[in-house]
Structure 1
Amino acid sequence: MRRRALLPRFTRAERWVHRCTSALMLLCIATAACLYLPQLAELVGRRRLVETVHEWSGLALPVPLLLGLGSRALRRDLGRLNRFGPHDRDWLRAALWRSYRRRAGKFNAGQKVYAGWIAGAVLVMLGTGLLMWFTDLAPLAWRTGATFVHDWLALAVGVVVAGHIWMAVRDPQARRGMRTGKVDPLWATREHPDWEPTADEGDQPRGSSR
């Protein structure tokens, strides 16, 4: 029996941007946990090293995306993530009422909301982190406020990222798409019925399988 041809979904550049950004984000979260939870701090020790790793991984967090902007496919997908249409509002209402009749293009409304929120959170975390790192950049009152925002937003980021990972664990095809760049066409039809793949979506021509 002939294997069903897989659909190209993400290019190699997009997958590497996602992997590098994910690694830096998880490193930030792990080091933050070691800095703020006494049990982990005692277990790991070497607080100054942990602080240094946390600071530089946070500073490097936007770098993979900035480097990846050279990819036309990545720029196109960022445009898709940035567009919110009527079908996205319908998707959110359907998700709220736990209905499975949800229209979506290449990215559904939940993925768009997550991408926008995490992008904004990273910028705020970067700004407040710089104020905490370079103490002469702002007066004490600003640094105190930055510390408060940074700490509580870090907790929110940890919870949201954990939810993102949980959703990925529940969807093997989504993980396959980010791991190999290709997905099953039946999954694409079910989860993203309005998505029309183009010839340069993946690293290989449409219709090839691996």
Structure 2
Amino acid sequence: MTPPADAPAPPGAAVRRFGPAQRRVHRATAVLMGICVVTAACLYVPQLAVLVGRRDLVVRLHEWAGLALPVPVLLGLASRAFRADLRLLDRFGPHDRVWLRAALRRDRRRSSRPAGKFNAGQKIYAAWIAGAALVMLGTGLMMWFTRLAPLVWRTGATFVHDWLALTVGVVLAGHIGMALGDPEARRGLRTGRVGREWAKREHPLWRP
């Protein structure tokens, strides 16, 4: 009988991918980002706004979740393993350019997509979402504390905040879709361990 996709890998075939710190940072960030996205939808989609009601409460949840968004990453910096992963995400090497060219050509052969612990797509996503979160935080603060900036700046901040929020929602949907299509990657974030064969296939340059 074939084991289910989410069945744990045999002990000898599993390698450690993430420690407790990385998994906690990811979960906490995912929860806070989820609150931001859901509350934003409730504020801007009329049908949801009518369904949920209590606009003041939704606004407060959105504001405080957005303000807390950087906290898991800042706390995670106390972990050596988390800092090591950040350094890997911040380095873009020649193999990453090969990976990107293959992705743009829609070349799905694993041999044409070399990757270390993180592939080029994951590195770009991490950099983009971190930058977007900082811009959202800055523009959100201008909208929240109206005395921080003149009216023309707040108007621009509202425009950037709203449209960037829509973009973040689309990118997050793509991120979640990719995760749903890879149960082994999800297992790595849930348990910290992945199958050795998966690691060799998806991240051949990674040496766990």
Alignment counterpart, residue 126 of structure 2, candidates 111, 115, 118: 115
AA in 1 matched with 2:164: L
Normalised by the length of structure 1, the TM-score is 0.92
1:55 alignment partner in structure 2: 63
Matches within 5 A, 1:57-206: 57-99=65-107, 100=109, 101-197=112-208
Give the total of aligned pairs.
Answer: 196
2:54 is equivalent to residue 43 of structure 1: no
Could you tell me whether the CA contact under 8 Å between 2:13 and 2:197 is conserved in 1? Answer: no
The runs of 5 or more residues in structure 2 that have no matched partner are 1-9
Q: State the secondary structure of the residue aligned to 2:42.
A: helix
2:3 alignment partner in structure 1: none
CA shift in 2, pair 1:46/1:90, >3 Å: same
Could you tell me whether the CA contact under 8 Å between 2:18 and 2:193 is conserved in 1? Answer: yes
Deviations 1:94-124 (A, max 9, x none): 1111222210000000000000000000000
Give identity over the alignment, percent: 71
Deviations 1:6-39 (A, max 9, x none): 1000001110100000000010000000000000
CA shift in 2, pair 1:3/1:19, >3 Å: closer
Distance 1:157 1:122 in 2: 9
Q: Tell me by how many angstroms 1:5 deviates.
A: 2.8
Moved over 4 A (4+): none
AA in 1 matched with 2:182: D
Deviations 1:148-184 (A, max 9, x none): 0000000000000010000000000000000000000
Distance 2:13 2:172 in 1: 32
AA in 1 matched with 2:70: P
Q: Tell me by how many angstroms 1:3 deviates.
A: 5.2
Could you tell me whether the CA contact under 8 Å between 2:117 and 2:203 is conserved in 1? Answer: yes
Normalised by the length of structure 2, the TM-score is 0.93
2:21 alignment partner in structure 1: 13
CA RMSD of aligned residues (A): 0.8
Which of 1 and 2 has higher RCO (CA within 8 Å, sep 6+)?
Answer: 1
Distance 2:120 2:12 in 1: 28
